[in-house]
A and B are shown apart, each in its own frame.
Chain A
Amino acid sequence: MIASDDLLRPFEERIRAAAAARQPLRIRGGGSKDFYGGRLEGELLDVSALSGITHCEPTELVISARTGTPVAELEQELATHNQMLAFEPPRFCGRATLGGAVASGLCGPRRAYCGAVRDFVLGIEMIDGRGERLRFGGKVIKNVAGFDVSRLMAGSLGTLGLLTEVTLKTVPRARAECTLRFEMDQPAALESMARWASRPLPISATVWHEDILSVRLSGAESAVRGAQQNLGGEVVPAAEAYWQDVREQRLEFFVAARELWRVSLPAHSPALPGTGPMLMEWGGSLRWLPGPQDDRALRALAIRLGGHATLYRTPVRPPQGPFQPLPAAMLSVHRRLKAVFDPGGILNRGRLHPDL
């Protein structure tokens, strides 16, 4: 394996030169999520050369890899130790990289039951907007020394630095899995999911679409068997492919939508009036809506319910960006944090927020 210094030097130099020239840079791993976030601005900074698993300790539940490593490769390695990434990041045809998974913060079906990307980030190495290499966090599960900059990077869309290596906490694969299907309308599905969630059941994913609620159970054999008897419903054989399609957004619902809204809400939120067909995940806390939507009305509704709405995918990116606008006090904290790590404002400008 190439020594870290040799591998990283060109990236440090490139960022230093860009900072001096005030040249914006656009960080890209596998390019699987080019569609996501605000505008793509600047010269391409391709990270795919930063590849490879650097540290894998199954008994520590820890894996470290360079950020250009495909998520699929990481998962393949973990599978040999009977472990996995709990947050099930989309792999998008194998192109998604570890860096992109962390920077985007996007998670798959298990997120509502096991935690998000940021919950599993233990440490990072990055190059900031001045070309300085920094390390935060570490390779142990418990570490509260210093501000938690590692988790701050999750979902920051590359606006605070170029991630070069990430250490994640892994989890054992469930020993048993079973998928149940129920026919019910949306209010009944919401009610059922809330009721089940308040009981200790081994639910690991839920999807509701067109009056069908699919529930995945994962855990010890006895726990899965017990819950299955308890919940009823129809057992779906060989459901693994279905959950992969949900995770990779390959279901017809996702493929057919030219424009797609992602609405994130408290779990027990009611059905959204007047928004048309939809797909729910995460116990009802994630709602996918095909566009076009009345964006102002949808955002106002999301705020009223205690959540937010994102124009997740669209043929034409709006100038104000796809995310819910930040309140003034929050925006000013964001600006100051951006200035800490990228004072020249050259990294992924406009990707998270039009002004950052």
Chain B
Amino acid sequence: MRAAGSARGARVSLRVVNKVIERLRRALPGKAVLSSAEELKPYECDALTLYRQTPLAVALPANEAEVVAVLRTCKEAGVPVIARGAGTGLSGGATPRADAVLMSLARLNRIIGIDPLARTARVQPGVRNLAISEAAAPHGLYYAPDPSSQIACTIGGNVAENSGGVHCLKYGLTVHNLLALRVVTIEGEVLEIGSAAPDSPGYDLLALLTGSEGLLGVVTEVTVRLIPKPRCARVVLAAFDDLVKAGAAVADIIAAGIIPAGLEMMDRPTIAAVEPFVHAGYPLDAEAILLCESDGAPEEVEEEILRIEAVMRDAGATECRISRDESERLRFWAGRKAAFPAMGALSPDYYCMDGSIPRKRLAAVLQAIRQMETRYGLRCTNVFHAGDGNLHPLILFDCNIPDEVARAEAFGSEILELCVREGGSITGEHGVGIEKINQMCVQFGARELEAFHAVKRAFDEHGLLNPGKAVPTLHRCAELGRLHVRGGKVPHPELPRF
């Protein structure tokens, strides 16, 4: 396996390790510090399993005071800290380092309160995404962002990654559904950011902290906005004999002034893979299908569904089915939801990418990916948030075949770089982590990267919080030959770069 470069961390002497563990043991109650090889094993990676590293130790604080104690201890010892939620992240945001303490926030798992009148939920970071909606359900409310890992992923991780989901075209990303955070800085100071009021004095730190991948602070409490559950939802399943037509249909829906609750695309290989699993009745001869959901009041959904169907037909859909009842709606979605597990039957390993592009470029990019399949000798299936222009190409490979990992990674990099060229981004919702750190050099220029480092230093002067993730050093970009230099001028040319 390729080393994760600077994200892997330096070798630390046994003396330092023992000292840090001893100090953590003093700061936390019994059994809250793990240090034996056996105990550390489950923490060696997050959902980006390509990268594994045993952490120096794992700390399991159970409340904010203990989080403060861990951060102060690490600060004093000069040891890096990596915060981790459920470890479902796909970009390696919580990949450990040999020289860093991994702080799991799983024990901060209390729902502090649901206020149905204010329509807010106050929760600790280790609360699972779906658990918030379950707790709000008796009041007819729910928490809208629904990443596909919502059964397992925690709200703290959602904040760190600014997670999206199937419904974010209409209901927004995590950043649009947060009201307030309690954040502990590396100094051990608690910041109260945002509030249940519509705005707060000063800079919008809530926006800055959301999606900051654990580089600026550690979240200990989250207040989210809850919204009323729509009374009704129905879905149109539209089949196309051509990817280009399906891509165009997505743009047509938006151009018609429709903001669907969800608009997802599955390509032919995906359809073929999932149908035996879920028996959703997907047309197996289609090149692509679109699932387009409408939600709201029943009469409103009725009206919108008919408009969606008309647009799909005009765009050349070979077939349109409208879910007749809730069980059929769930069946239509079942294949989409089972897509990733179904790939397991197709291939021993797969690599899930995450890039975003302008919707109008969907067809062109999908065709380019087809050509890359031949070039890299690997298959790639596509099932993704078409309405947001958020691609999730799944590159299929086999870890046991020499060089397939390297080819899969190169394939993935090329897709991400294509997304940037098409005016999009290297990550729509999974974050940069260590996975896409090299592509950051393609998306941003040297000045912007320097600004990110300066923002990081404004919160964490010595770079102890999740170092080596999300923002590459200019040195790294230069080594890769990817340093974006505008007008021939490198910022601060006096600084050594190599």
Binding site for B on A (CB under 8 A): 57-62, 82-83, 105, 111-112, 115-116, 118-119, 128, 132-136, 138-149, 151-152, 154-156, 160, 171-173, 175, 194, 197-202, 219-223, 225-227, 264-268, 282, 285-286, 306-308, 310, 323-327, 329-330, 333-334, 336-337, 339-341, 352-353
Contact across chains for B199 and A136 when beta carbons are under 8 A apart = no
Given A139-B358, A306-B197, A336-B458; A146-B191 close (CB under 8 Å): no
Contact across chains for A146 and B470 when beta carbons are under 8 A apart = yes
B117 to chain A, nearest CB (A): 4
Contact across chains for A118 and B204 when beta carbons are under 8 A apart = yes
Contact across chains for B458 and A333 when beta carbons are under 8 A apart = yes
Contact across chains for B203 and A152 when beta carbons are under 8 A apart = yes
Contact across chains for B117 and A149 when beta carbons are under 8 A apart = no
Residue among A144, A172, A197, A339 with the most chain B CB within 10 A? A144
Given A175-B257, A340-B454; A148-B207 close (CB under 8 Å): yes
A164 and B443 alpha carbons, distance in the complex (Å): 20
B156 to chain A, nearest CB (A): 16
Query: Which residues of B (429-445) have their CB < 8 Å from a CB of A?
Result: 429-432, 436, 440, 443-445
A229 to chain B, nearest CB (A): 11
Q: Which 7 A-B pairs have the closest CB atoms?
A: A151-B207, A172-B257, A142-B428, A222-B299, A307-B197, A266-B196, A223-B300
Which A residue sits closest to B295, measured CB to CB?
A200
Contact across chains for A115 and B451 when beta carbons are under 8 A apart = no
Q: Which of B33-41, B95-103, B161-169 is the contact stretch?
A: B161-169
**With a CB–CB cut-off of 8 A, which chain A residues contact B141?**
198
Contact across chains for A144 and B162 when beta carbons are under 8 A apart = yes
23 A-B contacts (beta carbon < 8 Å): A115-B176, A119-B175, A140-B358, A142-B356, A142-B429, A144-B173, A145-B427, A145-B432, A146-B443, A147-B212, A148-B212, A152-B203, A154-B207, A175-B257, A264-B200, A267-B196, A306-B196, A308-B201, A329-B189, A329-B190, A329-B191, A330-B192, A340-B458
Contact across chains for B303 and A326 when beta carbons are under 8 A apart = no
**With a CB–CB cut-off of 8 A, which chain B residues contact A140?**
356-358, 389, 423-425, 428
Interface size class of B (residues with CB under 8 A): 35 or more
Given A144-B431, A327-B192; A199-B197 close (CB under 8 Å): no
Contact across chains for B201 and A135 when beta carbons are under 8 A apart = no
**With a CB–CB cut-off of 8 A, which chain B residues contact A222?**
297, 299-300, 302-303
Let me know if B195 is at the binding interface, CB within 8 A: yes
**With a CB–CB cut-off of 8 A, which chain A residues contact B254?**
58-61
Which A residue sits closest to B176, measured CB to CB?
A119
Given A200-B228, A330-B191; A145-B444 close (CB under 8 Å): yes
Contact across chains for B255 and A59 when beta carbons are under 8 A apart = yes
**A149: contacting residue among B118, B176, B190, B208, CB under 8 A:** B208
Let me know if B403 is at the binding interface, CB within 8 A: no
**With a CB–CB cut-off of 8 A, which chain B residues contact A134?**
447-448, 451
**With a CB–CB cut-off of 8 A, which chain A residues contact B116?**
198
Let me know if B348 is at the binding interface, CB within 8 A: no
Let me know if B344 is at the binding interface, CB within 8 A: no
Let me know if B23 is at the binding interface, CB within 8 A: no
Contact across chains for A142 and B470 when beta carbons are under 8 A apart = no
Which A residue sits closest to B389, measured CB to CB?
A140
**With a CB–CB cut-off of 8 A, which chain A residues contact B202?**
323, 326, 330, 334, 352-353
**With a CB–CB cut-off of 8 A, which chain B residues contact A220?**
296, 300, 303-304
Contact across chains for A148 and B258 when beta carbons are under 8 A apart = no
**A323: contacting residue among B195, B201, B210, CB under 8 A:** B201
Given A142-B389, A145-B436, A220-B296; A59-B359 close (CB under 8 Å): yes
**With a CB–CB cut-off of 8 A, which chain A residues contact B161?**
144
Contact across chains for A156 and B203 when beta carbons are under 8 A apart = yes
Residue among A116, A223, A264, A333 with the most chain B CB within 10 A? A333
Given A145-B427, A198-B119; A282-B198 close (CB under 8 Å): yes
Query: Which residues of B (173-230) have their CB < 8 Å from a CB of A?
Result: 173, 175-176, 185, 189-193, 195-205, 207-208, 210-212, 215-216, 227-230
**B199: contacting residue among A155, A194, A223, A339, CB under 8 A:** A155
Let me know if B106 is at the binding interface, CB within 8 A: no
**With a CB–CB cut-off of 8 A, which chain B residues contact A156?**
203-204
A214 and B229 alpha carbons, distance in the complex (Å): 24
**With a CB–CB cut-off of 8 A, which chain A residues contact B315?**
none
**With a CB–CB cut-off of 8 A, which chain A residues contact B360?**
57, 59-60
Contact across chains for A144 and B304 when beta carbons are under 8 A apart = no
Given A61-B254, A136-B448; A105-B432 close (CB under 8 Å): no
**With a CB–CB cut-off of 8 A, which chain A residues contact B57?**
none
Residue among B207, B456, B457 with the most chain A CB within 10 A? B207
16 further A-B contacts with Cβ under 8 Å, apart from A148-B211, A221-B303, A307-B197, are: A57-B360, A135-B445, A140-B424, A142-B425, A145-B444, A152-B204, A200-B229, A200-B230, A200-B231, A201-B228, A202-B297, A223-B296, A268-B115, A326-B201, A330-B193, A334-B203
Contact across chains for A148 and B424 when beta carbons are under 8 A apart = no
**A340: contacting residue among B385, B423, B451, CB under 8 A:** B451
**With a CB–CB cut-off of 8 A, which chain A residues contact B185?**
329
A77 and B139 alpha carbons, distance in the complex (Å): 41
A228 to chain B, nearest CB (A): 12
**With a CB–CB cut-off of 8 A, which chain B residues contact A116?**
198-199
Given A200-B229, A221-B303; A82-B198 close (CB under 8 Å): no
A222 to chain B, nearest CB (A): 4
Contact across chains for A264 and B458 when beta carbons are under 8 A apart = no
Residue among A60, A133, A138, A310 with the most chain B CB within 10 A? A60
A117 and B128 alpha carbons, distance in the complex (Å): 29
**With a CB–CB cut-off of 8 A, which chain A residues contact B459?**
333, 336
**A266: contacting residue among B118, B216, B227, B429, CB under 8 A:** B118
Contact across chains for A151 and B204 when beta carbons are under 8 A apart = yes
A279 to chain B, nearest CB (A): 15
**With a CB–CB cut-off of 8 A, which chain A residues contact B281?**
none
B473 to chain A, nearest CB (A): 14
Given A151-B207, A333-B459; A173-B257 close (CB under 8 Å): yes
A337 and B193 alpha carbons, distance in the complex (Å): 15
**A223: contacting residue among B139, B252, B259, B299, CB under 8 A:** B299
Let me know if B144 is at the binding interface, CB within 8 A: no
A60 and B210 alpha carbons, distance in the complex (Å): 24
**A144: contacting residue among B190, B211, B389, B457, CB under 8 A:** B211
Let me know if B46 is at the binding interface, CB within 8 A: no
Which B residue sits closest to A152, measured CB to CB?
B208
A165 to chain B, nearest CB (A): 14
A334 and B429 alpha carbons, distance in the complex (Å): 27
**With a CB–CB cut-off of 8 A, which chain B residues contact A145?**
425-427, 432, 436, 440, 443-444
A147 and B216 alpha carbons, distance in the complex (Å): 10
A224 to chain B, nearest CB (A): 9
Contact across chains for B299 and A155 when beta carbons are under 8 A apart = no
Contact across chains for A60 and B203 when beta carbons are under 8 A apart = no
